[in-house]
Amino acid sequence: MYSAAKQLARGRLLSGAVGGCPRRGHSGTAAASSRVVNGVRHERGEYGRVTDDDVRHFRSLLGEPNVVTGAQNVGPYNVDYLKHVPGNTELVLKPRTTEDVSEILKYCSGRRLAVCPQAGNTGVSGGGVALFDEVVVSTQRMNSIINFDPVSGVLVCQAGCVLESLMEHLESHGHMMPLDLGSKGSCQIGGNLSTNAGGIRVIRYGTLQGCVLGLEAVMADGTIVDCLNTMRKDNTGYHLKHLFIGSEGTLGVITKAAILCPNLPKYVNVAFIGLDSYDKVLKLFSVARAEFGETLSSFELMDNATVTCVENSLHLRCPIANDRPFYVLVELASSRPTAGRHMENVLAKALEDSLIADAATTDQTSGINKMWKIRETAIEGLLKLGHVYSFDISLPLDRFYEIVELTRERLKNVAECKAVSGFGHIGDGNLHLNVVTTGSDERLTRLIEPFVYGWTRDCLGSVSAEHGIGLTKTDYLEHTKSPEAVRLMRSLKKTMDPGCILNPYKVIPQTCGGGGGR
């Protein structure tokens, strides 16, 4: 009798019958028990369902404008950047403070409501959208710059600050963000931290985690973990900030960060260079590192397919003739006015030695922006062509472009394939391989994904350089991590989020049940 009653009570909790009637879903998907995404079937975990009483509670906590319901209103929060993973949340919460986040998670933990933290929603691995009916906690309104010290260069801000807004604020104080991304106009610093974003200047400033002095995060039960240290040296025990950086919201919700920001360079010089082979790209990279040293801030590769797509789709003009198989964008950032002259001398010698085929240089802001726009809008141009299978992988530089050629050869007789392109950060070995097709197709997914990720594994590379594992790469985590490392990750997840309410189905979903499998 006791066990039957207990089982009945548990069933009511999981169905959402406790605390009011379950809300009527805006689609059948949110209430479904399983979904197939990208060829993988995912089972809904044993979580509660949002009720009208839950919504009333959140409205009393946050205020009416900060609680979003209704299919049309939640629509923008249910679309990932590549449109590969349609979200299914029926409730979006917009906290303004760390305390708001704490109260939300404390309540959700008690009700066993799954939560999907969401920043600017510019990710490409499905990590920021609700697979089933998770409550989306958006940091959109946590956008205050708390303090900036121009002497130490330390910025303290909330997690919802848009990267470009931070860049503009710092620029007015003679400083800059150590991170720059093509999505800077909409991505948020908390989301950048959740995937440990790299961007276009890793060669000079490193990945974001190396510039973070401290942060604040909220754990699944609502506990606020204050590690918001602004000291450059602090060796008092475990560096807990690194548990949250790169964890994609599965261990806690980042609410504030303290970031060390470098001085704005006085002089910036950019060159757009055409080359005849990938071997010459590597030779030029060696020359650039030797000649430019610490002033080298970017060394970006684009192949002809990428540049041609940007020209045709976005009507932008390549700074030089678009008749070479490879293009490189080189940026120098210096405190000395002689850097530009040195760049021109080095390129003149490279042209004389037939190392490069063509080049254009500029130190003017308008010219610099035009050159960078070719690189920064690459994925936007590809998306205009069709469905994009996008791969964010790290590879040894001697194998870097080989996978693009192998993929192109593999798909040459596939009618649905419209283009295969490669671009990325030579400075840190991060390739963005893209396959453009007429549409999403499970057969194409099986043809492309296992091949690319298997090849990456065999090269001892990484299946995720800077975009995270999210939802779409969970089957490939062990291509990069050893079984022992994955077991430790699962142990950390169970310790820090025993109810598994934080971003379930992402990174290591089998930990919480409801995992996927091909």
Residues 34-76 pLDDT 10s: 888 877 888 999 999 999 999 999 999 999 999 999 999 999 9
Mean pLDDT on 228-246? 94
Strands (E), 276-371: 296-303, 326-334, 358-362
**Token digits of residue 368:** 């610099």
Q: How far apart are CA 223 and CA 230, in angstroms?
A: 21
Residue-range domains of the chain with CATH = 40-138 (3.30.43.10), 145-260 (3.30.465.10), 267-459 (3.30.70.2190)
**Token digits of residue 235:** 């060796």
Name the strands in the sheet holding 34-37, side by side, starting at the edge strand that comes first in the sequence. Answer: 34-37, 40-43, 516-517
Q: Please provide residue 254's backbone torsions phi and psi, each rounded to the nearest 5 degrees.
A: -70, 130
Mean pLDDT on 179-200? 93
Q: Higher pLDDT residue, 440 or 95?
A: 95
- What is the per-residue pLDDT for 39? 73
- Picking from 136, 123, 112, the residue whose alpha carbon sits closest to that of residue 30 is 136
Residues 395-407 pLDDT 10s: 999 999 999 999 9
Q: How far apart are CA 383 and CA 400, in angstroms?
A: 23
Write the DSSP string, 139-156: -TT---EEEEETTTTEEE
Question: Which whole-number Å values give the CA distances from 68 to 73, 94, 339, in the listed order?
Answer: 6, 8, 52
Q: Which H helix or E strand runs over 345?
A: helix 339-352
- Picking from 98, 160, 104, 161, the residue whose alpha carbon sits closest to that of residue 134 is 104
Q: How far apart are CA 123 and CA 126, in angstroms?
A: 7
Residues 288-316 pLDDT 10s: 999 999 999 999 999 999 999 999 999 99
Q: Higher pLDDT residue, 4 or 362?
A: 362
Query: Please, what sign has the CA dihedral across residues 6, 12, 17, 19?
Result: positive
Answer whether residue 326 shows pLDDT above 70: yes
Q: Are 389 and 445 in contact (CB under 8 A)?
A: yes
Please, where are the H alpha helices in 362-441?
365-376, 378-383, 402-410
Question: Which whole-number Å values give the CA distances from 182 to 123, 195, 260, 339, 368, in the listed order?
Answer: 12, 15, 21, 25, 14
- What is the per-residue pLDDT for 447? 95
- Picking from 169, 142, 158, the residue whose alpha carbon sits closest to that of residue 261 is 169
Question: Which whole-number Å values give the CA distances from 263 to 167, 174, 178, 205, 380, in the listed order?
Answer: 12, 6, 10, 12, 30
Q: How far apart are CA 91 and CA 291, in angstroms?
A: 55
> Pairing relation of β-strands 296-303 and 358-362?
unpaired
The total of other beta-carbon atoms located within 10 Å of residue 512's CB is 25
Q: Are 93 and 113 in contact (CB under 8 A)?
A: no
**Token digits of residue 456:** 């990456």
Angle of CA points 36, 187, 58, to nearest 5°: 70
Answer whether residue 13 shows pLDDT above 70: no
Mean pLDDT on 365-383? 96
- What is the per-residue pLDDT for 327? 99
Mean pLDDT on 279-286? 98
Q: What is the mean pLDDT of the chain?
A: 92
DSSP state of 93: E
Q: How far apart are CA 386 and CA 347, in angstroms?
A: 37
Residues 347-371 pLDDT 10s: 999 999 999 999 999 999 999 999 9
> Pairing relation of β-strands 267-275 and 387-394?
unpaired
Strands (E), 228-357: 253-260, 267-275, 296-303, 326-334
Residues 451-460 pLDDT 10s: 999 999 999 9
Length of the chain (residues): 518
- Picking from 381, 327, 383, the residue whose alpha carbon sits closest to that of residue 358 is 327
Q: How far apart are CA 130 and CA 281, in angstroms?
A: 41
- What is the per-residue pLDDT for 22? 59
Radius of gyration of the chain (CA): 24
- Picking from 398, 404, 370, the residue whose alpha carbon sits closest to that of residue 281 is 398
Q: How far apart are CA 163 and CA 175, in angstroms?
A: 14
**Token digits of residue 396:** 């040894």
- What is the per-residue pLDDT for 20? 57
| Residue 300 backbone zone (phi > 0: left; psi -120 to 50: alpha; other: beta) | beta
Which residue in this structure is represented by tokens 């799954």? 114
The total of other beta-carbon atoms located within 10 Å of residue 516's CB is 22
Q: How far apart are CA 429 and CA 187, in angstroms?
A: 23
